[in-house]
Amino acid sequence: MTTRVDVLLGAQWGDEGKGKVVDVITPGYSVIARFQGGPNAGHTLIFDGKKHVLHTIPSGIFREGVMNLVGNGVVIDPVIFLREVDALAKAGVDVRDRLLIGRRAHLILPTHRALDAASEADQGKEKIGSTLKGIGPTYMDKTGRNGFRIGDLERADMKDRYQVLVRKHERLLGLYNEAFDWKQHEAEWLDALERLKTYRFVDSEHWLDEQLNAGKKVLAEGAQGTLLDIDFGTYPFVTSSNTISAGACTGLGVAPSRIGRVIGIFKAYCTRVGSGPFPTELLEETGEQIRQAGREFGSTTGRPRRCGWLDLPALKYAVMINGVSELAMMKADVLSGMETIRVCTHYRVNGQLTDRLPYDITGTVEPVYTTVPGWGELSVNEALPNGLEAYIRTIEAATRVPVKLVSLGPDRAETLMREAAAATL
Protein backbone atom coordinates (compact mmCIF):
# COMPACT_ATOMS: atom_id res chain seq x y z
CA MET A 1 0.00 0.00 0.00
CA THR A 2 1.53 3.28 -1.04
CA THR A 3 0.27 6.60 0.27
CA ARG A 4 0.36 10.12 -1.11
CA VAL A 5 2.06 13.26 0.05
CA ASP A 6 -0.26 16.02 1.23
CA VAL A 7 1.03 19.54 0.69
CA LEU A 8 0.41 22.55 2.92
CA LEU A 9 1.41 25.95 1.59
CA GLY A 10 0.85 29.68 1.73
CA ALA A 11 -1.76 31.06 -0.66
CA GLN A 12 -0.78 34.73 -0.24
CA TRP A 13 2.53 36.58 0.41
CA GLY A 14 3.75 34.38 3.28
CA ASP A 15 3.15 34.48 7.03
CA GLU A 16 -0.34 33.09 6.59
CA GLY A 17 0.00 30.85 9.65
CA LYS A 18 1.49 27.74 8.04
CA GLY A 19 3.49 26.82 11.15
CA LYS A 20 0.39 26.84 13.33
CA VAL A 21 -1.65 24.66 10.98
CA VAL A 22 1.18 22.15 10.45
CA ASP A 23 1.47 21.80 14.22
CA VAL A 24 -2.30 21.33 14.58
CA ILE A 25 -2.58 18.61 11.92
CA THR A 26 0.76 16.83 12.54
CA PRO A 27 -0.86 14.10 14.72
CA GLY A 28 -2.40 12.77 11.48
CA TYR A 29 1.04 12.28 9.88
CA SER A 30 4.24 10.22 10.36
CA VAL A 31 6.51 12.60 8.46
CA ILE A 32 6.62 16.39 8.08
CA ALA A 33 8.94 17.54 5.28
CA ARG A 34 10.03 21.08 4.39
CA PHE A 35 10.52 21.36 0.63
CA GLN A 36 11.92 24.84 -0.09
CA GLY A 37 13.07 28.14 1.34
CA GLY A 38 15.34 28.46 4.30
CA PRO A 39 15.84 30.78 7.25
CA ASN A 40 13.92 33.53 5.43
CA ALA A 41 10.91 31.64 6.82
CA GLY A 42 9.60 32.21 10.32
CA HIS A 43 6.90 29.75 11.37
CA THR A 44 5.26 30.47 14.72
CA LEU A 45 3.72 27.85 16.98
CA ILE A 46 1.99 28.64 20.27
CA PHE A 47 0.84 26.06 22.80
CA ASP A 48 0.90 25.61 26.58
CA GLY A 49 1.40 29.36 26.92
CA LYS A 50 4.73 29.27 25.03
CA LYS A 51 5.72 30.66 21.65
CA HIS A 52 8.23 28.95 19.35
CA VAL A 53 9.53 30.28 16.02
CA LEU A 54 11.04 27.85 13.52
CA HIS A 55 13.08 28.86 10.49
CA THR A 56 14.59 25.73 8.98
CA ILE A 57 13.20 22.91 11.07
CA PRO A 58 9.76 21.57 10.08
CA SER A 59 6.81 22.48 12.29
CA GLY A 60 6.11 18.85 13.26
CA ILE A 61 9.13 18.82 15.56
CA PHE A 62 7.17 19.16 18.80
CA ARG A 63 5.05 16.05 18.26
CA GLU A 64 6.42 12.76 19.52
CA GLY A 65 6.68 9.86 17.12
CA VAL A 66 6.82 12.09 14.04
CA MET A 67 9.90 12.32 11.80
CA ASN A 68 10.84 15.70 10.33
CA LEU A 69 12.74 16.03 7.09
CA VAL A 70 14.60 19.01 5.68
CA GLY A 71 14.28 18.26 1.97
CA ASN A 72 16.67 18.84 -0.92
CA GLY A 73 14.86 22.03 -1.97
CA VAL A 74 15.73 23.78 1.30
CA VAL A 75 18.77 26.02 1.84
CA ILE A 76 20.40 25.72 5.25
CA ASP A 77 22.45 28.18 7.30
CA PRO A 78 24.22 25.99 9.89
CA VAL A 79 24.43 28.83 12.43
CA ILE A 80 20.70 29.54 12.31
CA PHE A 81 19.90 25.82 12.23
CA LEU A 82 21.89 25.20 15.42
CA ARG A 83 20.32 28.18 17.17
CA GLU A 84 16.98 26.55 16.49
CA VAL A 85 18.27 23.21 17.74
CA ASP A 86 19.47 24.85 20.97
CA ALA A 87 16.19 26.69 21.49
CA LEU A 88 14.32 23.44 20.99
CA ALA A 89 16.60 21.64 23.47
CA LYS A 90 15.71 24.30 26.04
CA ALA A 91 12.06 23.60 25.32
CA GLY A 92 12.73 19.91 26.01
CA VAL A 93 12.85 18.67 22.41
CA ASP A 94 15.81 16.55 21.33
CA VAL A 95 15.94 17.30 17.62
CA ARG A 96 18.50 14.58 16.86
CA ASP A 97 15.94 11.77 17.22
CA ARG A 98 13.32 13.48 15.13
CA LEU A 99 15.16 15.11 12.26
CA LEU A 100 16.72 14.04 8.97
CA ILE A 101 18.46 16.29 6.45
CA GLY A 102 18.55 15.60 2.71
CA ARG A 103 22.06 15.35 1.26
CA ARG A 104 21.03 17.38 -1.78
CA ALA A 105 20.05 20.44 0.29
CA HIS A 106 22.33 23.44 -0.26
CA LEU A 107 24.25 25.37 2.37
CA ILE A 108 24.14 29.13 2.88
CA LEU A 109 27.69 30.49 3.34
CA PRO A 110 28.57 33.72 5.16
CA THR A 111 29.56 35.08 1.75
CA HIS A 112 26.06 34.35 0.43
CA ARG A 113 24.68 36.56 3.17
CA ALA A 114 27.19 39.28 2.32
CA LEU A 115 26.21 39.05 -1.36
CA ASP A 116 22.54 39.36 -0.42
CA ALA A 117 23.29 42.49 1.64
CA ALA A 118 25.53 43.94 -1.09
CA SER A 119 22.94 43.38 -3.80
CA GLU A 120 20.17 44.94 -1.70
CA ALA A 121 22.30 47.96 -0.76
CA ASP A 122 23.27 48.39 -4.39
CA GLN A 123 19.65 48.49 -5.55
CA GLY A 124 18.72 51.26 -3.13
CA LYS A 125 15.05 52.10 -3.47
CA GLU A 126 14.54 49.28 -5.96
CA LYS A 127 15.60 46.65 -3.44
CA ILE A 128 13.55 43.48 -2.96
CA GLY A 129 13.42 43.98 0.79
CA SER A 130 14.89 40.51 1.27
CA THR A 131 15.33 38.97 4.71
CA LEU A 132 19.14 39.29 4.20
CA LYS A 133 19.61 35.60 4.98
CA GLY A 134 21.53 34.89 1.76
CA ILE A 135 18.61 33.11 0.08
CA GLY A 136 18.92 34.62 -3.42
CA PRO A 137 22.70 34.12 -3.80
CA THR A 138 22.48 30.53 -2.49
CA TYR A 139 19.80 29.54 -5.00
CA MET A 140 21.80 31.37 -7.70
CA ASP A 141 24.76 29.13 -6.95
CA LYS A 142 22.48 26.10 -6.98
CA THR A 143 21.12 26.84 -10.46
CA GLY A 144 24.54 28.14 -11.53
CA ARG A 145 25.92 24.69 -10.57
CA ASN A 146 28.42 26.05 -8.07
CA GLY A 147 26.54 25.22 -4.87
CA PHE A 148 27.86 23.66 -1.69
CA ARG A 149 25.63 20.83 -0.52
CA ILE A 150 25.03 18.88 2.67
CA GLY A 151 26.43 15.79 0.93
CA ASP A 152 29.69 17.67 0.32
CA LEU A 153 30.30 17.65 4.07
CA GLU A 154 30.99 13.91 3.78
CA ARG A 155 33.67 14.42 1.12
CA ALA A 156 37.40 14.54 1.83
CA ASP A 157 37.84 17.66 -0.31
CA MET A 158 35.10 19.59 1.48
CA LYS A 159 37.40 22.42 2.64
CA ASP A 160 38.78 22.91 -0.89
CA ARG A 161 35.29 23.11 -2.34
CA TYR A 162 34.35 25.68 0.27
CA GLN A 163 37.44 27.76 -0.53
CA VAL A 164 36.78 27.70 -4.28
CA LEU A 165 33.28 29.02 -3.73
CA VAL A 166 34.42 31.67 -1.26
CA ARG A 167 37.06 32.92 -3.72
CA LYS A 168 34.38 33.31 -6.37
CA HIS A 169 32.19 35.20 -3.92
CA GLU A 170 35.05 37.49 -2.95
CA ARG A 171 35.47 38.43 -6.59
CA LEU A 172 31.74 39.14 -6.87
CA LEU A 173 31.73 41.20 -3.67
CA GLY A 174 34.51 43.28 -5.18
CA LEU A 175 32.05 44.49 -7.82
CA TYR A 176 29.99 46.36 -5.24
CA ASN A 177 30.77 49.78 -3.82
CA GLU A 178 30.04 48.90 -0.25
CA ALA A 179 32.33 46.46 1.58
CA PHE A 180 30.82 43.73 3.75
CA ASP A 181 32.95 42.16 6.43
CA TRP A 182 31.79 38.55 6.14
CA LYS A 183 35.09 37.20 7.60
CA GLN A 184 33.96 38.00 11.11
CA HIS A 185 31.20 35.38 10.73
CA GLU A 186 33.36 32.64 9.25
CA ALA A 187 34.70 31.03 12.44
CA GLU A 188 31.23 30.68 13.94
CA TRP A 189 29.94 29.28 10.66
CA LEU A 190 32.75 26.70 10.39
CA ASP A 191 32.15 25.62 14.01
CA ALA A 192 28.46 25.26 13.30
CA LEU A 193 29.33 23.16 10.26
CA GLU A 194 31.22 20.69 12.46
CA ARG A 195 28.18 20.35 14.72
CA LEU A 196 25.83 20.09 11.76
CA LYS A 197 27.87 17.12 10.52
CA THR A 198 26.80 15.12 13.56
CA TYR A 199 23.14 15.17 12.43
CA ARG A 200 21.57 12.48 10.29
CA PHE A 201 21.93 12.99 6.54
CA VAL A 202 19.89 10.87 4.13
CA ASP A 203 19.20 10.42 0.45
CA SER A 204 15.82 11.85 1.20
CA GLU A 205 14.12 10.94 -2.08
CA HIS A 206 14.78 7.24 -1.38
CA TRP A 207 13.91 7.58 2.28
CA LEU A 208 10.58 9.23 1.43
CA ASP A 209 9.84 6.58 -1.20
CA GLU A 210 10.29 3.91 1.48
CA GLN A 211 8.02 5.76 3.88
CA LEU A 212 5.27 6.09 1.28
CA ASN A 213 5.59 2.45 0.22
CA ALA A 214 5.23 1.47 3.87
CA GLY A 215 1.93 3.38 4.03
CA LYS A 216 3.27 6.24 6.16
CA LYS A 217 1.48 9.57 5.85
CA VAL A 218 3.65 12.48 4.74
CA LEU A 219 2.88 16.20 4.90
CA ALA A 220 5.02 18.60 2.85
CA GLU A 221 5.35 21.98 4.58
CA GLY A 222 5.80 25.02 2.38
CA ALA A 223 7.52 28.26 3.24
CA GLN A 224 6.73 31.79 1.97
CA GLY A 225 3.62 31.95 -0.21
CA THR A 226 2.34 31.57 -3.77
CA LEU A 227 2.72 35.25 -4.63
CA LEU A 228 6.39 35.06 -3.64
CA ASP A 229 7.02 32.12 -6.00
CA ILE A 230 10.00 32.64 -8.32
CA ASP A 231 7.92 31.80 -11.43
CA PHE A 232 4.36 32.81 -10.56
CA GLY A 233 4.78 35.48 -7.88
CA THR A 234 5.01 39.26 -8.27
CA TYR A 235 8.44 39.08 -9.94
CA PRO A 236 11.02 40.46 -9.22
CA PHE A 237 9.63 41.03 -5.73
CA VAL A 238 9.65 37.35 -4.89
CA THR A 239 11.84 34.82 -3.18
CA SER A 240 14.20 32.53 -5.12
CA SER A 241 12.42 29.18 -4.86
CA ASN A 242 9.22 27.54 -6.08
CA THR A 243 6.85 27.99 -3.19
CA ILE A 244 3.94 26.35 -5.05
CA SER A 245 2.75 22.73 -4.87
CA ALA A 246 5.00 21.79 -7.81
CA GLY A 247 7.89 22.81 -5.55
CA ALA A 248 7.03 19.90 -3.26
CA CYS A 249 7.83 17.52 -6.14
CA THR A 250 11.20 19.05 -6.98
CA GLY A 251 12.02 19.95 -3.37
CA LEU A 252 11.46 16.42 -2.08
CA GLY A 253 11.87 14.15 -5.09
CA VAL A 254 8.22 13.10 -5.09
CA ALA A 255 6.44 12.44 -8.39
CA PRO A 256 3.37 14.58 -9.24
CA SER A 257 1.21 11.44 -9.32
CA ARG A 258 2.01 10.96 -5.65
CA ILE A 259 0.61 14.29 -4.46
CA GLY A 260 -2.63 14.02 -2.48
CA ARG A 261 -4.46 16.86 -0.73
CA VAL A 262 -3.21 20.41 -1.26
CA ILE A 263 -4.05 22.64 1.69
CA GLY A 264 -3.91 26.38 0.99
CA ILE A 265 -3.47 28.65 4.01
CA PHE A 266 -4.74 32.22 3.86
CA LYS A 267 -5.48 35.05 6.24
CA ALA A 268 -8.95 36.63 6.43
CA TYR A 269 -7.11 39.69 5.09
CA CYS A 270 -3.71 40.10 3.37
CA THR A 271 -0.23 41.01 4.50
CA ARG A 272 3.07 41.46 2.77
CA VAL A 273 6.54 42.18 4.13
CA GLY A 274 9.24 43.65 1.92
CA SER A 275 8.83 45.56 -1.34
CA GLY A 276 6.54 44.88 -4.26
CA PRO A 277 3.00 45.42 -5.50
CA PHE A 278 0.08 44.87 -3.14
CA PRO A 279 -3.22 45.96 -4.78
CA THR A 280 -5.42 45.88 -1.64
CA GLU A 281 -2.89 47.48 0.70
CA LEU A 282 -4.39 49.81 3.33
CA LEU A 283 -2.09 52.75 3.83
CA GLU A 284 -4.36 54.52 6.32
CA GLU A 285 -5.78 53.91 9.79
CA THR A 286 -7.50 50.60 9.01
CA GLY A 287 -4.17 49.12 7.91
CA GLU A 288 -2.58 50.20 11.18
CA GLN A 289 -5.55 48.84 13.12
CA ILE A 290 -5.13 45.40 11.49
CA ARG A 291 -1.34 45.52 12.05
CA GLN A 292 -1.81 46.13 15.76
CA ALA A 293 -4.71 43.70 16.26
CA GLY A 294 -2.96 40.98 14.26
CA ARG A 295 0.51 41.74 15.67
CA GLU A 296 1.71 41.90 12.11
CA PHE A 297 5.44 42.17 12.62
CA GLY A 298 7.84 39.77 10.89
CA SER A 299 8.71 36.54 12.75
CA THR A 300 12.19 36.55 11.16
CA THR A 301 13.09 40.24 10.81
CA GLY A 302 10.62 42.04 13.12
CA ARG A 303 9.68 44.38 10.27
CA PRO A 304 6.11 45.75 10.26
CA ARG A 305 4.02 43.84 7.75
CA ARG A 306 1.98 45.80 5.23
CA CYS A 307 -1.74 45.03 5.68
CA GLY A 308 -4.73 45.10 3.33
CA TRP A 309 -8.10 43.55 2.51
CA LEU A 310 -8.56 40.02 1.25
CA ASP A 311 -7.73 39.79 -2.46
CA LEU A 312 -9.92 37.16 -4.15
CA PRO A 313 -8.35 37.36 -7.65
CA ALA A 314 -4.98 36.62 -6.00
CA LEU A 315 -6.46 33.81 -3.88
CA LYS A 316 -8.15 32.27 -6.92
CA TYR A 317 -4.82 32.41 -8.73
CA ALA A 318 -3.19 30.55 -5.83
CA VAL A 319 -5.95 27.92 -5.93
CA MET A 320 -5.36 27.44 -9.66
CA ILE A 321 -1.56 27.31 -9.63
CA ASN A 322 -1.40 24.93 -6.66
CA GLY A 323 -4.48 22.81 -7.29
CA VAL A 324 -5.64 23.70 -3.78
CA SER A 325 -8.17 21.09 -2.64
CA GLU A 326 -9.02 22.70 0.70
CA LEU A 327 -8.47 26.02 2.37
CA ALA A 328 -7.60 27.02 5.92
CA MET A 329 -8.60 30.54 6.96
CA MET A 330 -6.47 32.21 9.60
CA LYS A 331 -6.81 35.21 11.88
CA ALA A 332 -10.57 35.77 11.52
CA ASP A 333 -10.39 37.04 15.13
CA VAL A 334 -8.25 39.99 14.05
CA LEU A 335 -11.18 41.49 12.12
CA SER A 336 -13.64 40.96 15.02
CA GLY A 337 -15.46 44.13 15.96
CA MET A 338 -15.24 45.78 12.55
CA GLU A 339 -18.66 46.93 11.47
CA THR A 340 -18.02 46.19 7.83
CA ILE A 341 -15.26 44.41 5.96
CA ARG A 342 -14.18 44.85 2.37
CA VAL A 343 -13.22 42.08 -0.02
CA CYS A 344 -11.61 42.63 -3.39
CA THR A 345 -13.58 40.54 -5.90
CA HIS A 346 -12.14 41.90 -9.15
CA TYR A 347 -9.49 44.18 -10.56
CA ARG A 348 -10.09 46.97 -13.02
CA VAL A 349 -7.29 46.85 -15.60
CA ASN A 350 -7.30 49.43 -18.40
CA GLY A 351 -10.97 50.10 -17.67
CA GLN A 352 -11.93 46.41 -17.91
CA LEU A 353 -13.17 44.28 -15.01
CA THR A 354 -11.30 41.03 -14.52
CA ASP A 355 -10.92 38.43 -11.79
CA ARG A 356 -7.60 37.24 -13.22
CA LEU A 357 -4.21 38.18 -11.88
CA PRO A 358 -2.48 39.86 -14.83
CA TYR A 359 1.23 39.60 -15.77
CA ASP A 360 2.05 42.88 -14.07
CA ILE A 361 0.10 44.22 -11.11
CA THR A 362 2.43 47.13 -10.36
CA GLY A 363 0.22 50.19 -10.24
CA THR A 364 -1.85 48.92 -13.17
CA VAL A 365 -4.67 47.20 -11.33
CA GLU A 366 -7.36 48.94 -9.35
CA PRO A 367 -9.08 46.66 -6.83
CA VAL A 368 -12.87 46.51 -6.97
CA TYR A 369 -14.44 45.80 -3.60
CA THR A 370 -17.63 44.46 -2.16
CA THR A 371 -18.51 45.40 1.41
CA VAL A 372 -19.85 42.76 3.79
CA PRO A 373 -21.04 42.89 7.42
CA GLY A 374 -18.43 42.16 10.10
CA TRP A 375 -18.63 39.89 13.15
CA GLY A 376 -18.05 40.09 16.89
CA GLU A 377 -15.83 38.13 19.27
CA LEU A 378 -15.12 34.51 18.32
CA SER A 379 -14.91 31.40 20.47
CA VAL A 380 -13.98 27.82 19.65
CA ASN A 381 -16.81 26.69 21.92
CA GLU A 382 -19.49 28.43 19.91
CA ALA A 383 -20.75 28.24 16.35
CA LEU A 384 -19.21 30.78 13.99
CA PRO A 385 -21.25 34.02 13.92
CA ASN A 386 -23.43 34.59 10.85
CA GLY A 387 -21.23 37.39 9.52
CA LEU A 388 -18.13 35.20 9.48
CA GLU A 389 -19.99 32.20 8.10
CA ALA A 390 -21.30 34.40 5.24
CA TYR A 391 -17.77 35.75 4.63
CA ILE A 392 -16.42 32.20 4.37
CA ARG A 393 -19.19 31.23 1.96
CA THR A 394 -18.32 34.19 -0.26
CA ILE A 395 -14.75 32.88 -0.39
CA GLU A 396 -15.85 29.31 -1.06
CA ALA A 397 -18.17 30.46 -3.83
CA ALA A 398 -15.39 32.47 -5.48
CA THR A 399 -12.69 29.80 -5.19
CA ARG A 400 -14.93 26.72 -5.42
CA VAL A 401 -12.83 25.19 -2.68
CA PRO A 402 -14.06 24.31 0.85
CA VAL A 403 -12.70 26.19 3.86
CA LYS A 404 -12.14 23.23 6.16
CA LEU A 405 -10.19 24.86 8.96
CA VAL A 406 -10.82 28.21 10.64
CA SER A 407 -8.26 29.63 13.05
CA LEU A 408 -9.56 31.94 15.76
CA GLY A 409 -6.33 32.77 17.58
CA PRO A 410 -2.61 31.97 17.59
CA ASP A 411 -2.79 29.08 20.05
CA ARG A 412 -2.90 25.47 18.90
CA ALA A 413 -6.24 25.11 20.70
CA GLU A 414 -7.87 28.07 18.96
CA THR A 415 -8.75 26.11 15.86
CA LEU A 416 -12.05 24.91 14.40
CA MET A 417 -12.52 22.15 11.85
CA ARG A 418 -15.42 23.11 9.61
CA GLU A 419 -17.78 21.15 7.42
CA ALA A 420 -18.15 23.15 4.23
CA ALA A 421 -21.67 23.83 3.06
CA ALA A 422 -21.82 21.70 -0.10
CA ALA A 423 -24.37 24.01 -1.73
CA THR A 424 -21.84 26.81 -2.05
CA LEU A 425 -19.30 24.71 -3.96
Are 108 and 134 in contact by the 8 Å Cβ rule? The answer is yes
Q: What is the 3-state secondary structure (H, E, C) of 140-185?
A: HHHHCCCCCEHHHHHCCCHHHHHHHHHHHHHHHHCCCCCCCCCHHH
Strand partners, 225: none
For 208, other C-beta atoms within 10 Å of its C-beta total 25
Q: Which of 273, 324, 329, 361 binds ligand IMO (CB under 6 A)?
A: 273
In the complex with ligand IMO, which residue's Cβ is closer, 125 or 285?
Answer: 125
Are 329 and 411 in contact by the 8 Å Cβ rule? The answer is no
Residue 131 interacting with ligand IMO (CB under 6 A): yes
Residue 130 interface partner, choices ligand IMO, ligand GDP, Mg ion, none, CB cut-off 5-8 Å depending on type:
ligand IMO
User: Could you say which of 23, 43, 169, 346 is catalytic?
Assistant: 43
User: Could you say which of 6, 15, 77, 333 is catalytic?
Assistant: 15
Q: Which of 58, 110, 136, 253 binds ligand IMO (CB under 6 A)?
A: 136
Residue 299 interacting with ligand GDP (CB under 6 A): yes
Strand partners, 329: 266, 406
In the complex with ligand GDP, which residue's Cβ is closer, 17 or 60?
Answer: 17
Strand partners, 57: none
DSSP class of residue 55? S
Least separation in angstroms between residue 331's CB and Mg ion is 13
Which residue, 119, 157, 123, 156, is CA-closest to 135? 119
Residue 23 interacting with ligand GDP (CB under 6 A): no
Are 8 and 219 in contact by the 8 Å Cβ rule? The answer is yes
Residue 275 interacting with Mg ion (CB under 5 A): no
| Burial annotation 312-341 (CB, 10 A radius, 16+ → b, else e) | bbbbbbbbebbbbbbbbbbbbbbbbebeeb
Q: Which of 24, 31, 41, 95 binds ligand IMO (CB under 6 A)?
A: 41
Binding mask 40-79 for ligand GDP (x = CB under 6 A): -xxxx-x---------------------------------
Residue 408 interface partner, choices ligand IMO, Mg ion, ligand GDP, none, CB cut-off 5-8 Å depending on type:
ligand GDP
In the complex with ligand IMO, which residue's Cβ is closer, 211 or 241?
Answer: 241
Residue 17 interface partner, choices Mg ion, ligand GDP, ligand IMO, none, CB cut-off 5-8 Å depending on type:
ligand GDP
Does residue 55 have an active-site annotation? no
Residue 229 interacting with ligand GDP (CB under 6 A): no
| Burial classification of residue 221, based on how many CB atoms lie within 10 Å of its CB (0-12 exposed, 13-18 middle, 19 or more buried) | buried
Q: Which of 6, 15, 296, 396 binds Mg ion (CB under 5 A)?
A: 15
Binding mask 303-332 for ligand GDP (x = CB under 6 A): ---------------------------xx-
Return d(Cα 285, Cα 168) in angstroms, integer. Answer: 48
Q: Is 53 left (phi over 0), alpha (psi -120 to 50) or beta?
A: beta
Residue 102 interacting with Mg ion (CB under 5 A): no
Residue 104 interface partner, choices ligand GDP, ligand IMO, Mg ion, none, CB cut-off 5-8 Å depending on type:
none
Return d(Cα 251, Cα 157) in angstroms, integer. Answer: 26
Q: Which of 36, 40, 56, 119 binds ligand IMO (CB under 6 A)?
A: 40
Does residue 229 have an active-site annotation? no
State the pairing for strand pair 50-54/43-47: antiparallel
Largest distance between two CA atoms of the chain: 65
Give residues in contact with ligand GDP (CB under 6 A): 10, 14-20, 41-44, 46, 294-295, 299, 330-331, 333-334, 407-410
Please identify every residue annotated as catalytic. 15, 43
